């Protein structure tokens, strides 16, 4: 009796285990089918596959576009890429602030370092047109101030003395022939006087000095030289007793009543500078004092070394405070009128793109690319991207940008994970349920096709039952059509890459090894030829490469010089598809060069 009882207990235990196993199999069976029903494109079609309970009436995949097929996948949110949600407590903690996009006056300020120079129109040289000896010097120091008409020195010149005597004789002859009945004689005497007077004028005697000679009736032994203009003595070569010849420069004078100030303006700002524009300058020597002038000339060429354009400004200098050689801070004010502007703190500039974060309300923020124009001290003009009335983030936007990038990367990982889960679900489902799908034969093989190996790639290997033609079967599925356009979803055919460009006189030839790039390690090569036709051996080359798809980070590889201007670096191209390689070249004393090349990489994908 005891033995029978034990036997019954064992029988009941074994029966319970068997029942649990059967329940697990049945549950797994229906779970697999429910998972397949949730996948885009796995809805009821013409093949006669029945929809699970509660799914009756679902739209057929033929009515759904590629985009609709992707929207049902977990991780594929309908929100724009990078959109994030920040709770109110977190916003207060990190200090998120926003400001409206509005039209406002845009007052631009252009700053430059200015150098005071002489007004070249007011430089004067004092020289003589007759030879002789200097006897007295009245202006005898460099830096001395001189007024126009002030005596500077006296000169003894035998030629000038003889000319004065000729002039006096001509005057005497004219007086004697004044009552002559011969008109021709009177005319000749008058012409002789005029000729002698003109010679004295050409030798820099003014009318008062000539009249003084006439009054005295005797030649002046020494000639007094007067200052032709007012100014400061810059150079002096007049010394008592020196013998001078015609053309000898005795003094150089500079009138400092006005001065020129030169400033170098960056080429990006030169369009905002115009003639007669008001300019201001300040000096450390005169704190709190501002001098005002105007733009007099914009030079028509660019300094290639500094990438600046020289601008000449004219400033009055009545008290001679502005001294040539002084350095000052120049400021040009530009009124651009009313423009659509945002605070400059709202713009994130990575070099490749410029974006702002839009406040969509309820703690939702979206990154948005913008095109910018002119800048002021506090605001920047927006040309494209957003409109008046939008609100943009002005504080903590760097934290929002980091969170947005993480969200984008997380969405991409979720999407790729769902693709892998879909593949697992399709492989784990009962094969006979796939026979009824449109375009699928027995065992998941497209009708009319022979069985092939199931992804092993080894010749002669027989695919497991029900797995024949698996890849072809996936391609025939309706829902997979919407996934074909995704980067990395299929192997792309590679193309040979050899491209030559001319930049700033240099020849840049980009190529890869192998010539047709494949997924995996690839050698990037850049050959740089200078304008003389020789290989540039003193360059620094850095390759930056990435795929143009959301969530992909840029990788960099520093190239090494091998020979004759050839630079090489190894890059790991993780999958087939389109890659963008940026070659950043730095050459001594030249602006940086950045050129982008596009690669069609073979291999990779699902």
- All CATH 2.40.30.170 domain ranges in the chain, comma separated: 111-119+257-336
Instruction: Check residue 8 and give its pLDDT.
Output: 53
- Among the ranges given (2-11, 154-163, 259-268), the one the predictor scored with the smallest mean pLDDT: 2-11
pLDDT of the residue at 123: 94
pLDDT value at residue 193: 84
Strand partners for 372: 382
Of residues 42 and 360, more confidence is placed in: 360
In Å, the largest CA–CA distance within the chain is: 187
Residue 259 makes CB contacts below 8 A (sequence gap 6+) with 116, 117, 118, 119, 314, 315, 317, 322, 324
The pLDDT confidence band at residue 11, using thresholds 50, 70 and 90, is low
CATH fold of the domain at 120-254:
OB fold (Dihydrolipoamide Acetyltransferase, E2P) (2.40.50)
Q: What is the pLDDT of residues 311-329, one digit of tens each?
A: 999 999 999 999 999 999 9
State how far the Cα of 262 lies from the Cα of 264, in Å rounded to an integer. 7
Residue 423: what pLDDT? 45
- In this prediction, residue 457 carries a pLDDT of 41
Q: How many Å apart are CA 375 and CA 109, to the nearest integer? A: 8
> Which of 497, 423, 447 lies closest to 32, judged by CA?
423
Q: Average pLDDT over the chain, rounded to whole?
A: 77
Partners of 393 in the β-ladder: 98
| Helix pair angle (207-216, 158-176), 10° resolution | 60
As a whole number of angstroms, the distance between CA 333 and CA 319 comes to 25
CB 573 within 8 A of CB 551: no
CATH of 498-601, one of 3.40.50.300, 3.30.1360.150, 2.60.40.1930, 3.40.50.12780: 2.60.40.1930
pLDDT reported for residue 409: 66
Q: Which CATH number fits domain 111-119+257-336: 3.40.190.10, 2.40.30.170, 1.10.20.10, 2.40.280.10?
A: 2.40.30.170
Average pLDDT, integer, range 26-55: 42
Tokens of 62: 């033929």
In the block, residue with structure tokens 């004393």: 589
**What is the total residue count of the chain?**
606
* Residue where the block lists tokens 């049945």: 26
Residue 255: is its pLDDT beyond 70? yes
The pLDDT-based confidence of 284 (bands split at 50, 70, 90) is: very high
Confidence at 407, pLDDT banded by 50, 70, 90: confident
Q: How far apart are CA 295 and CA 260, in angstroms?
A: 10
* 9: confidence class by pLDDT, cuts 50, 70, 90: low
Mean pLDDT of 53-71: 40
What pLDDT does 287 receive?
Answer: 94
- Looking at mean pLDDT, say which of 111-120, 191-200, 347-356, 367-376 comes out highest: 111-120
Specify the fold of 84-106+337-406: 2.40.420
Between 12 and 378, the higher pLDDT residue: 378
CA-to-CA separations, 154 to 12, 136, 250, in angstroms, rounded: 143, 5, 12
Q: Based on the number of CB atoms within 10 Å of its own CB, is 431 exposed (0-12), middle (13-18) or buried (19 or more)? A: buried
pLDDT (0 to 100) of residue 24: 54
Check residue 203 and give its pLDDT.
80
- How many other C-beta atoms lie within 10 A of the C-beta of residue 103? 11
What pLDDT, on a 0 to 100 scale, did the predictor assign at position 306? 92
Max mean pLDDT among 45-59, 159-173, 232-246 falls in 232-246
Residue 149 has pLDDT above 70, yes or no: yes
Check whether 17 has a pLDDT greater than 60. Answer: no
Distance CA 290, CA 284 (A): 11
Of the CA atoms within 13 Å of residue 67, those in its CB half-sphere come to: 2
pLDDT band at 482 (very low <50, low <70, confident <90, very high): very low
Q: What residues does CATH 2.60.40.1930 cover in the chain?
A: 498-601
Q: pLDDT band at residue 488, thresholds of 50, 70 and 90?
A: very low
Most confident of 18-32, 42-56, 279-293, 429-443: 279-293
Give residue-wise pLDDT tens across range 524-547: 999 999 998 899 999 999 999 998
Is the pLDDT reported for residue 415 higher than 80? no
Q: Where in the chain do CATH 2.40.420.20 domains reside?
A: 84-106+337-406
| Nearest residue to 556 via CA among 594, 501, 605, 502 | 594
* pLDDT class of 424 with cuts at 50, 70, 90: very low
Q: Find which of 40-44, 457-461, 587-591 is predicted with most confidence, using mean pLDDT.
A: 587-591
Higher-pLDDT residue of 185 and 148 is 148
């Amino acid at each position: 009796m005891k033995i029978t009882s034990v036997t019954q207990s064992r029988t009941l235990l074994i029966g319970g285990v068997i029942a649990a196993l059967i329940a697990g199999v049945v549950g797994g069976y229906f779970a697999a089918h429910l998972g397949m029903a949730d996948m885009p494109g796995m809805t009821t079609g013409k093949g006669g596959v029945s929809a699970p309970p509660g799914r009756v009436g679902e739209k057929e995949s033929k009515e759904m576009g590629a985009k609709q097929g992707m929207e049902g996948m977990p991780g594929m949110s309908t929100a724009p890429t990078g959109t994030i949600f920040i709770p109110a407590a977190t916003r207060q903690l990190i200090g998120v602030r926003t400001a409206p996009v509005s039209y406002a006056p845009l007052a631009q300020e252009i700053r430059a370092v200015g150098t005071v120079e002489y007004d070249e129109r007011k430089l004067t040289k004092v020289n003589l047109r007759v030879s002789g000896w200097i006897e007295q010097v009245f202006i005898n120091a460099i830096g001395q101030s001189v007024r126009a008409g002030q005596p500077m020195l006296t000169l003894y010149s035998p030629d000038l003395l003889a000319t004065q005597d000729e002039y006096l004789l001509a005057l005497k002859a004219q007086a004697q022939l004044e009552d002559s009945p011969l008109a021709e004689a009177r005319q000749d005497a008058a012409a002789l006087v005029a000729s002698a007077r003109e010679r004295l004028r050409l030798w820099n005697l003014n009318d008062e000095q000539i009249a003084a000679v006439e009054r005295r009736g005797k030649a002046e032994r020494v000639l007094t030289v007067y200052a032709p203009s007012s100014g400061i003595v810059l150079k002096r070569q007049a010394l008592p007793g020196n013998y001078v010849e015609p053309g000898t420069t005795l003094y150089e004078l500079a009138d400092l009543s006005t001065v020129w100030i030169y400033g170098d303006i960056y080429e990006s700002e030169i369009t905002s500078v115009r003639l007669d524009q008001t300019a201001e300058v300040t000096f450390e020597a005169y704190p709190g004092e501002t001098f005002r002038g105007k733009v007099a000339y914009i030079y028509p060429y660019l300094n290639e070394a500094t990438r600046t354009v020289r601008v000449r400004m004219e400033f009055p200098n009545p008290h001679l405070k502005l001294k040539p050689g002084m350095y000052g801070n120049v400021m040009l004010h530009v009124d651009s009128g009313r423009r659509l502007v945002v605070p400059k703190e709202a713009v994130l500039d990575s070099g490749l793109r410029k974006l702002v974060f839009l406040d969509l309300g309820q703690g939702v923020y979206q990154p948005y690319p913008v095109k910018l124009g002119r800048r002021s001290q506090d605001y920047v003009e927006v040309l494209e991207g957003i409109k008046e009335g939008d609100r943009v983030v002005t504080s903590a936007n760097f934290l929002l940008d980091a969170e947005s990038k993480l969200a984008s990367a997380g969405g991409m990982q979720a999407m790729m994970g769902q693709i892998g889960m879909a593949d697992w679900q399709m492989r784990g489902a009962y094969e006979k349920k796939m026979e009824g799908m449109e375009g699928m034969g027995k065992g998941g093989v497209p009708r009319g096709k022979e069985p092939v190996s199931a992804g092993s790639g080894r010749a002669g290997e027989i695919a497991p039952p029900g797995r024949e033609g698996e890849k072809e079967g996936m391609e025939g599925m309706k829902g997979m059509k919407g996934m074909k356009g995704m980067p990395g979803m299929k192997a792309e055919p590679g193309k040979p890459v050899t491209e030559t460009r001319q930049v700033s006189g240099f020849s840049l030839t980009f190529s890869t090894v192998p010539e047709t790039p494949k997924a995996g390690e690839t050698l990037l090569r850049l050959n740089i030829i200078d304008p003389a036709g020789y290989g540039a051996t003193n360059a620094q080359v850095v390759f930056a490469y990435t795929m143009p798809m959301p969530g992909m980070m840029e990788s960099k590889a520093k190239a090494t010089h091998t020979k004759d201007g050839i630079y090489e670096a190894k890059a790991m191209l993780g999958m087939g598809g389109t890659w963008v390689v940026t070659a950043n070249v730095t050459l001594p004393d030249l602006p940086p060069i950045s050129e982008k090349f596009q690669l069609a990489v073979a291999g990779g994908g699902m």
